Chains A and B, each alone.
Chain A
Amino acid sequence: MGSDGAGWVGKGLARKEDNRLLRGRGKFIDDIRLHDMLYLKFVRSPYAHARVTSLDTAAAEALPGVICTLTGAEIAHQTNPFIEIGPDPFARIAELVQVDYESLEVVVDGEEALKASVLLHEEAGTNRVWRGTFEYGDIEKAFREAAHIVRIDKMHFHRFSSTPLENNAVIGQWDAKDEHIYYWCNNSFPSFAMQFIAAHLGTPIDRIRVQTFDIGGSFGIKITSYPQMSVCALASKKAGGRPVKWIETRSEHNVSSAHGNERTFRDTRVALDKDGVIMAIDSRHIDDCGAYPRYEPLGCVIWAQVFPGVYRFRNARIDFSQAVTNKCPVGPNRGYSRMQHLWFLERVVDICAHQLGIPPDEMRLRNYIRPEEFPYTTPNGCVYDSGNYPKMLQVAKERIDWEDWKKKQAMARAEGRWLGIGIGTTLDSGTNNFGQSQIVNPHAPFSGNSQGANCKLDIYGEVVVAVGSCPQGQGHETTAAQVVADVLNIHPDMVTVRTGFDTERNVHTGASGTYASQFAVSGLSAVHGAARKLKSEMKQLAAFLLKTGEENLEFGMGQQGPQIRAKDTGSSVNYWQLANVVNVNSAVLPEELYELTLNCRYVWRAPFKVPDKEKKYGSLTLTYASQLHIAVVEIDRDTFIPHILEYVAVDDCGKVINPPIVEGQVYGATAHGIGAALMERCVYDAVGNMLTATFSDYTPITAVNIPNVRYAHMETPSPHSYNGAKGMGEGGAAPIHTISAALQDALFSSGIVVSDSFNNADTLYRAMVAKDIYQAGDLVKMEKRA
């Protein structure tokens, strides 16, 4: 940080984004209307698994206003036919496309898919996408020496989706005049999407321009390279270059965008010593990735970023398989593929604690990685940068008044009430190493991570910053301005940060976008680097203009705005004067300053190596923010409805750039987790119909369902980032772990093991009355050997 000194980083600066958004002047894709624009509509199969036997688009094409149709036969790899319609919304248009289907056998369960006779992708010859064993340490020795062995037959993490309020949206134009493809879209990983689209369409990547503007939430869902982007361009081409807009409907989004990974945990064995310290975990995990692997099989390895969670055990074996089913494909959803594994570990810890008669808080303290062990190398070679989990537990307990609740709980239990207190400890790993893709695909040409930024003095001396990120509410414009203001010792209001992503700003790298909890690290490192490059150029120019040495210069504010002052003479130049001599008055410059542009691009690269593909070993992520939540939950004994009585969220994301922005994101992630734990799930019937295709069925959490959340934060600065910050925002699904634990705590005495991540009155009724799920006797076995 050195000479950066205005002190804006760390302050709760008001968000620069808010003025336009509060006035209804946000620019979202559906707000954009282009001349001659057409609208695209997809005809969707009513079957989860079927073969198209015939297709007739004549009636649809005869409808006035329809410009053209495109069928799967016209587009390689495009199996769903779709049609394009004119500017009026014709409700009947899809019905006019005559399609005959031969319906086929459906598989909706991942474990079933691995055994099923029906193949979803015949050319693959199997429904198993990938299988790999992640094994570290000496498993057999640990089990031989264990004092206790706990076996858990089956657990299941359910499917849900964070359903951003703005659906996917794209306008594509294949412009024959300049042979460019233009995209206005809300994709949140456009630099990656472009690499697919260019190859798919056979177009030089420089001829594709992608722009994003305001984006109405993503939570990972919008990073997928949706094929609709290619389709819009092809439709535009067929329609003579007219722009084609596709605005996904809510039902389309719920049925076919992306869901989070669903996972089943089988045959888990846990070796523990006499004190409850976990010595080894051995388990078999089956991931259900839906109909097609998209970014998959990356989800087969990304969970390994948090292989041991927050715990110290060194011996573990996870046999990981991924299966295809006739459901929506999965993708990043509040983090990618990790929360499932973290939930599994938290369930293991709670169940083992109960089996051994150790309180859950004590069990965690015995197993947490210790504060003095950071940076901590996990059994699979990841390096946890910093953290203090025992302290987080202490802070959370104080914030919720743990002792008082323990007393209240004892009284409630004496009255026969079902009241539980649950702890969830979790990680939000940020800034991924794409090299982990090579563990599942040794030929993947991706590794490391990078981000670009540009910082310039514009011709009139305005400070303008552009970043390769595409924020969806995370306040990048504000935090980037804070960083630049500190470098130049000016006010953040004097820094213009361009909104969204634009290939033609030429700042992006192939990894640019907004995903994997990383802006505070990768984005701000790039911004900081670009600002320092600019500052260095400004110094050289100012020294020349002020006829002094660079060491005499002082950056700050003068009467005419931002300036650089010579401490020895007291004379100064303002930013306009600097920009002027470089851009429009350059004859005054000496030749040795000709290379200065005041337009500085900087690319930050994460210090990663390609992991060892055979041993599945290496640093997979740069920073590890941690979260610890505690919930007090009471289950109504008459209605079986669980009520959250108290909730605390403690977050540690290292050095905080803007505290209220971080706090707001913690609340948001907490709401998603509580929603997922108690209300939100993607439900399919036996033939693959999605039963939660509308919000009324899916029921995203509302203001009447969310408890008041107490928030506390801690800062253990990261040694892996220049600013001590860690990526944050996804929250590691802490509430799902925490609520499972609290329900478990409420019901342990009834012989119940909470083995599913989704719970509501129905599951609790089944557990307690119908007794057809969650029966401990069926699920858990304990072997005491000491």
Chain B
Amino acid sequence: MPEAAPGVSIQVRVNGKLHPREVEPRKLLVEFIREDLELTGTHIGCDTTYCGACTVLMNGAAVKSCTVFAVQADGAEITTVEGLAKNGDLHPIQKAFGDCYGLQCGYCTPGLMISALQLLKDNPTPNREQIRKAIAGNTCRCTGYQNIFKAIENAATTMRSPSHAD
């Protein structure tokens, strides 16, 4: 084994849990999430910030974690797909993606749901065009997007209802 580059100490809160870790300065946030934290729901699809399979929420903003260094996430709050469900219950976005057949192979789905989450936090009543723009950075090759549009519209309705606490 080679000698590792000098590590940098970081603390990242992921899905509510604080993770103090030493990381190489060159390590990407997506590698940190997948390899160091073993949260493999966040995926890698293109390596060039196009496809959004690696999208996570960082301090409330959807970011492509393949284009952020882990050290840049020091002190940040991150939400990944694994953090969407609460006490085992699916988040309304997860439920809507399932109900509307908004996924097929499921590879892009975690990133898409995170982008949808940011959209619906910022804009509880998005129209179709706003939905399109919000997920323009997330490539899906299976669904043709139609059922994803429906899923996000469906989730928006659920999340506006008084019974949804979040």
Enumerate chain A interface residues (CB-CB to B < 8 A): 14-15, 17-19, 21-26, 28, 30-31, 63-65, 86-88, 162-167, 214-217, 219, 249-251, 472-475, 660-661, 663-672, 694-696, 700, 702-704, 706, 708-709, 711
| 27 residue pairs A–B, Cβ–Cβ below 8 Å | A17-B106, A18-B97, A18-B106, A21-B103, A22-B90, A23-B85, A24-B80, A26-B106, A87-B1, A88-B2, A163-B141, A165-B45, A165-B107, A166-B43, A214-B105, A216-B45, A216-B106, A217-B105, A473-B103, A473-B104, A473-B106, A695-B46, A703-B133, A704-B132, A706-B144, A709-B144, A711-B146
Q: Which residues of B contact A164 (CB under 8 A)?
A: 105, 107, 141
Distance, CA A217 to CA B105, complexed state (A): 6
Asked if B55 is an interface residue, CB under 8 A from chain A, the answer is: no
Q: Which residues of A contact B147 (CB under 8 A)?
A: 664, 667
Asked if B4 is an interface residue, CB under 8 A from chain A, the answer is: yes
Say yes or no: A695 contacts B144, CB within 8 Å. Answer: no
Interface set, chain B 109-155, CB cutoff 8 A to A: 109-110, 113, 128, 131-133, 135-149
Q: How far is the CB of A490 from chain B (nearest CB, A)?
A: 22
Q: Which residues of B contact A86 (CB under 8 A)?
A: 1-2
Q: Which residues of A contact B40 (CB under 8 A)?
A: 24, 28, 30-31
Considering only CB atoms, which chain A residue lies closest to B138 in the complex?
Answer: A703
Q: Which residues of A contact B144 (CB under 8 A)?
A: 664, 666-672, 706, 709
Q: Which residues of B contact A711 (CB under 8 A)?
A: 146
Considering only CB atoms, which chain B residue lies closest to A21 in the complex?
Answer: B106
Q: Which residues of A contact B4 (CB under 8 A)?
A: 88
Considering only CB atoms, which chain B residue lies closest to A163 in the complex?
Answer: B141
Given contact pairs A166-B45, A668-B141, A21 touches B109 in the complex (Cβ within 8 A) = yes
Say yes or no: A165 contacts B90, CB within 8 Å. Answer: no
Q: Which residues of A contact B97 (CB under 8 A)?
A: 18, 22
Among B98, B133, B137, B139, the residue within 8 A (CB) of A165 is B139
Say yes or no: A703 contacts B98, CB within 8 Å. Answer: no
Q: How far is the CB of A743 from chain B (nearest CB, A)?
A: 21
Give 6 closest A-B pairs by Cβ, nearest first.
A24-B41, A21-B106, A473-B104, A216-B107, A473-B105, A671-B144
- Most B CB contacts (10 A, CB to CB) among A21, A164, A669, A703 go to A703
Tell me the dominant secondary structure on chain A's binding face. Answer: loop
Say yes or no: B104 contacts A695, CB within 8 Å. Answer: no
Say yes or no: B94 contacts A22, CB within 8 Å. Answer: yes
Say yes or no: A703 contacts B1, CB within 8 Å. Answer: no
Q: Which residues of B contact A251 (CB under 8 A)?
A: 47
Asked if B42 is an interface residue, CB under 8 A from chain A, the answer is: yes
Say yes or no: A64 contacts B48, CB within 8 Å. Answer: no
Asked if B57 is an interface residue, CB under 8 A from chain A, the answer is: no
Q: How far is the CB of B46 from chain A (nearest CB, A)?
A: 4
Say yes or no: A25 contacts B47, CB within 8 Å. Answer: no
- Most B CB contacts (10 A, CB to CB) among A23, A472, A666, A709 go to A23
Q: How far is the CB of B39 from chain A (nearest CB, A)?
A: 7
Distance, CA A661 to CA B103, complexed state (A): 10
Considering only CB atoms, which chain B residue lies closest to A659 in the complex?
Answer: B101
- Most B CB contacts (10 A, CB to CB) among A26, A163, A671 go to A26
Say yes or no: B82 contacts A24, CB within 8 Å. Answer: yes
Q: Which residues of A contact B110 (CB under 8 A)?
A: 24
Q: Which residues of A contact B142 (CB under 8 A)?
A: 217, 472-473, 664, 668
Say yes or no: A671 contacts B145, CB within 8 Å. Answer: yes
B 31-58 to A, binary, CB cutoff 8 A, 1 in contact else 0: 0001000011111111111110100000
Say yes or no: B98 contacts A22, CB within 8 Å. Answer: yes
Considering only CB atoms, which chain B residue lies closest to A660 in the complex?
Answer: B101
Q: Which residues of A contact B3 (CB under 8 A)?
A: 64
Given contact pairs A24-B82, A166-B45, A217 touches B103 in the complex (Cβ within 8 A) = no
Distance, CA A216 to CA B107, complexed state (A): 5
Asked if B108 is an interface residue, CB under 8 A from chain A, the answer is: yes
Asked if B22 is an interface residue, CB under 8 A from chain A, the answer is: no
B 74-86 to A, binary, CB cutoff 8 A, 1 in contact else 0: 0000001110110
Say yes or no: B47 contacts A249, CB within 8 Å. Answer: yes
Say yes or no: A15 contacts B98, CB within 8 Å. Answer: yes
Q: Which residues of A contact B2 (CB under 8 A)?
A: 63-65, 86, 88
Distance, CA A217 to CA B48, complexed state (A): 19
Q: Which residues of B contact A214 (CB under 8 A)?
A: 105-107
Q: How far is the CB of B95 from chain A (nearest CB, A)?
A: 8
Say yes or no: B132 contacts A18, CB within 8 Å. Answer: no
Q: Which residues of B contact A19 (CB under 8 A)?
A: 98
Q: Which residues of A contact B104 (CB under 8 A)?
A: 217, 472-475, 664-665, 668
Say yes or no: A703 contacts B135, CB within 8 Å. Answer: yes
Considering only CB atoms, which chain A residue lies closest to B109 in the complex?
Answer: A21
Among A17, A167, A215, A700, the residue within 8 A (CB) of B139 is A700
Distance, CA A413 to CA B101, complexed state (A): 40
Say yes or no: A695 contacts B139, CB within 8 Å. Answer: yes
Q: How far is the CB of B122 from chain A (nearest CB, A)?
A: 17
Say yes or no: A14 contacts B43, CB within 8 Å. Answer: no
Q: Which residues of B contact A219 (CB under 8 A)?
A: 141
Say yes or no: A26 contacts B148, CB within 8 Å. Answer: no
Considering only CB atoms, which chain A residue lies closest to B38 in the complex?
Answer: A33
- Most B CB contacts (10 A, CB to CB) among A18, A250, A667 go to A18
Say yes or no: B107 contacts A166, CB within 8 Å. Answer: yes
- Most A CB contacts (10 A, CB to CB) among B94, B107, B143, B146 go to B146
Q: How far is the CB of A492 from chain B (nearest CB, A)?
A: 15
Q: Which residues of A contact B141 (CB under 8 A)?
A: 162-165, 217, 219, 668, 671-672, 700
Say yes or no: B1 contacts A23, CB within 8 Å. Answer: no
Q: Which residues of A contact B53 (CB under 8 A)?
A: 165
Q: Which residues of B contact A31 (CB under 8 A)?
A: 34, 40
- Most A CB contacts (10 A, CB to CB) among B40, B85, B113, B144 go to B144
Given contact pairs A668-B144, A695-B51, A706-B145, A22 touches B103 in the complex (Cβ within 8 A) = yes
Say yes or no: A166 contacts B148, CB within 8 Å. Answer: no
Distance, CA A251 to CA B143, complexed state (A): 23
Q: How far is the CB of A167 from chain B (nearest CB, A)?
A: 8
Say yes or no: A216 contacts B101, CB within 8 Å. Answer: no
Say yes or no: A216 contacts B46, CB within 8 Å. Answer: no
Q: Which residues of A contact B44 (CB under 8 A)?
A: 30
Q: Which residues of B contact A14 (CB under 8 A)?
A: 98-99
Taking A216-B45, A250-B47, A706-B145 as known contacts, 9 extra A-B pairs with beta carbons closer than 8 A to each other, sorted by chain A number, are: A17-B106, A23-B41, A25-B41, A28-B43, A30-B44, A165-B43, A165-B53, A660-B101, A695-B45
Q: How far is the CB of A701 from chain B (nearest CB, A)?
A: 8
Among A22, A217, A703, the residue within 8 A (CB) of B132 is A703
Q: Which residues of B contact A671 (CB under 8 A)?
A: 141, 143-145
Among A22, A25, A694, the residue within 8 A (CB) of B48 is A694
Say yes or no: A702 contacts B45, CB within 8 Å. Answer: no
Say yes or no: B46 contacts A18, CB within 8 Å. Answer: no
Given contact pairs A64-B1, A694-B46, A696-B50, A23 touches B146 in the complex (Cβ within 8 A) = no
Say yes or no: B138 contacts A23, CB within 8 Å. Answer: no
Interface set, chain B 63-81, CB cutoff 8 A to A: 80-81
Say yes or no: A703 contacts B131, CB within 8 Å. Answer: yes
Say yes or no: B105 contacts A216, CB within 8 Å. Answer: yes
Say yes or no: A664 contacts B101, CB within 8 Å. Answer: yes
Q: Which residues of B contact A167 (CB under 8 A)?
A: 45
Say yes or no: A166 contacts B105, CB within 8 Å. Answer: yes
Q: How far is the CB of A39 from chain B (nearest CB, A)?
A: 12
Q: Which residues of A contact B81 (CB under 8 A)?
A: 22-24
Q: Which residues of A contact B146 (CB under 8 A)?
A: 667, 706, 708-709, 711
Distance, CA A366 to CA B141, complexed state (A): 36
Distance, CA A655 to CA B11, complexed state (A): 55
Distance, CA A661 to CA B49, complexed state (A): 30
Q: How far is the CB of B104 from chain A (nearest CB, A)?
A: 3
Distance, CA A670 to CA B147, complexed state (A): 13
B 1-14 to A, binary, CB cutoff 8 A, 1 in contact else 0: 11110000000000
Q: How far is the CB of A736 from chain B (nearest CB, A)?
A: 14
Q: How far is the CB of A703 from chain B (nearest CB, A)?
A: 5
